[in-house]
Amino acid sequence: MKTKDKIILASLDLFNEKGERNITTNHIAAELNMSPGNLYYHFRNKSDIIYEIFVQYELLVDHYLHIPDDQALTLDHLVGYLEAVFEGLWAYRFFHRDLEFLLGSDERLRKDYRAFTFRCLNAIKKILKGLQKGLDGVLVELDDEHLESMALNVWLAVTNWMAYLKTAHAGEADEIIDKSMLKQGIYQVLSFTVPYLTDNYLEEIRVLQDKYRPRPLSEA
């Protein structure tokens, strides 16, 4: 593995584990048993490392959300897309934990993330349209304005689910947010489809919701 790739992987692990703002380039160099000078040979600063991590994340999500044209989609397709996206979200979880700070610190990242957002919204809308296709469509026919609103709701639920977990479980000393908790966000996305399902899929969606249902929050 190239040294540059080792730096990216080590940085991602440290950012996920300890939080990006708690990690310096010296920490990354020490993790890899290299000198800071060797690290700076490959990256000018931590912002450049974060940007390269984002590029990898962006390519991963673009791959997950590559939707075939004019294909009728099922609930299994929808869950498959959601599982893949939440896997990616977990693998790069530091990014959405500290998103506002990261975007405010790097104009290049802010610009590219905006374009990434619009691509994802278009892909989500394409998935929703695919769920309307076929003789046995999953969703009833909806106009473009409604589809765009649903797509935005899905995007907000996915990208803010980590922030929700952090605030919802704040103060629970023994609580650790794990991948299974993160994937409970799938329940929320599935819930958006319920009012628009055709009759044949009402029972199937209930079964899927039970699989991902978030555990009740403990009272303070």
Identify the bridge partners of residue 139 per DSSP, sorted by sequence position: 197
- Where along the chain do the CATH 1.10.357.10 domains lie? 46-212
Nearest one of 96, 89, 58 to 181, comparing CA atoms: 89
Question: Residue 217 pLDDT > 70, yes or no?
Answer: no
Give the pLDDT of residue 220.
39
Instruction: Tell me the C-alpha to C-alpha distance, in Å, between residue 202 and each of 194, 195, 209.
Output: 7, 10, 11
Please tell me the distance from the alpha carbon of residue 95 to that of residue 100, in angstroms, as a whole number. Answer: 9
Q: Which two tokens stand for residue 149?
A: 């609103």
Question: Residue 215 pLDDT > 80, yes or no?
Answer: no
Nearest one of 45, 58, 46, 49 to 96, comparing CA atoms: 58
Question: Residue 200 pLDDT > 70, yes or no?
Answer: yes
Q: Which CATH class is domain 46-212?
A: mainly alpha
- Where along the chain do the CATH 1.10.10.60 domains lie? 1-44
Percent of the chain with pLDDT over 90: 77
Question: Residue 218 pLDDT > 60, yes or no?
Answer: no
* Mean pLDDT across the chain: 90
CATH number of the 1-44 domain: 1.10.10.60
Half-sphere exposure of 216 (CA within 13 A, CB side): 3
DSSP string, 19-44: -GGG--HHHHHHHTT--HHHHHHH-S
Please tell me the distance from the alpha carbon of residue 159 to that of residue 75, in angstroms, as a whole number. Answer: 21
43's CB contacts (< 8 A; 6+ apart) are: 4, 7, 25, 49, 52
pLDDT digits (tens, 9 = 90+) for 82-100: 999 999 999 999 998 888 8
What DSSP state is assigned to residue 22? G
Q: Worst-scoring range by mean pLDDT, 14-23, 24-33, 67-76?
A: 67-76
